[in-house]
Structure 1
Amino acid sequence: MGQRSIFIRALWFIFVGWWVTPVVINVAWVLNVTVILLPIGIKLINLVPTVLTLAEPRSLSDATAGRGQRSLIVRALYFVFIGWWLSLLWANVAALLALTIIGLPIAIWMLNRLPFVTSLYRFHG
């Protein structure tokens, strides 16, 4: 499925995305703290761009989807030493920027890159 129209994505953001995204981020962090539910927490963080603006993630059926991704070991080490704290800081700064009209475009840009900041996951090609 291709990207939804900019009109639909804008309506989603205005009515749903702006308030659901912080909820998803906080639920993901609670799951990450449990360690056992960490994979679900990471999956939620990887879905933040979709929750925010209905951006389509890479499809697992897409043959090129895995191209350009770092290895799972590299991503795991990055998450353990850097990603867990940097992404929490990144998401909170983005949430603060989203409270202002001037900061909103930067906040959307930052939240769309949250999966990469968290675990080096490339959301888009």
Structure 2
Amino acid sequence: MTQRSLLVRAIWFVFVGWWLTPVVVNLAWALNVTIVLLPIGIKLINLVPTVLTLAEPRSLTEPDATRGQPSLVVRAIYFVLVGWWLSWFWANLAALLAITVVGLPVAIWMANRLPYVTSLYRFHG
């Protein structure tokens, strides 16, 4: 993929990213709680940093993507007990912080960790 310039990413954030991110976050959360549409919700969660600042999408197809991950059973139990509600709170707090200049770096950090908060999924690389 081509690297987007900082100027393009900043313009995107000012005109689109700050308001579209909460929409995507809450749509993803609503899809996640249906269980049937969970895969689509997870894909949207993985796109939150891209929606916020046009950051390059993360690759889930890397050969090392599953190395060091908790088992699927552990991740599923965590999601059912904690991840579904904590990710909603976490993502909305990140979206709120993103509209402030001071909070933007923290919001980006939080958005990048949203897959882990949701399902204990760790990105490598």
Aligned residue for 1:62, secondary structure, equals coil
Q: What is the identity percentage for the equivalent residue pairs of Structure 1 and Structure 2? A: 75
> Would you say the 8 A contact 1:57–1:124 is kept in 2?
no
**Corresponding position of 1:29:** 29
- Measured in 2, the distance between the counterparts of 1:53 and 1:97 equals 14
Count of aligned pairs? 125
**Corresponding position of 2:41:** 41
Q: Please report the RMSD computed on the Cα atoms of aligned residues, expressed in angstroms.
A: 2.1
1:17 Cα deviation after fit = 1.5
**Corresponding position of 1:69:** 69
- Measured in 2, the distance between the counterparts of 1:63 and 1:98 equals 32
Question: Does residue 1:106 correspond to 2:109, yes or no?
Answer: no
TM-aligned CA distance change 1:58 to 1:69, over 3 Å? farther
TM-score, scaled to structure 2:
0.82
- Measured in 1, the distance between the counterparts of 2:3 and 2:70 equals 25
**Any stretches of 5+ residues in structure 1 without a counterpart?**
none
Aligned residue for 2:100, secondary structure, equals coil
**Any stretches of 5+ residues in structure 2 without a counterpart?**
none
1:70 Cα deviation after fit = 2.8
TM-aligned CA distance change 1:62 to 1:5, over 3 Å? farther
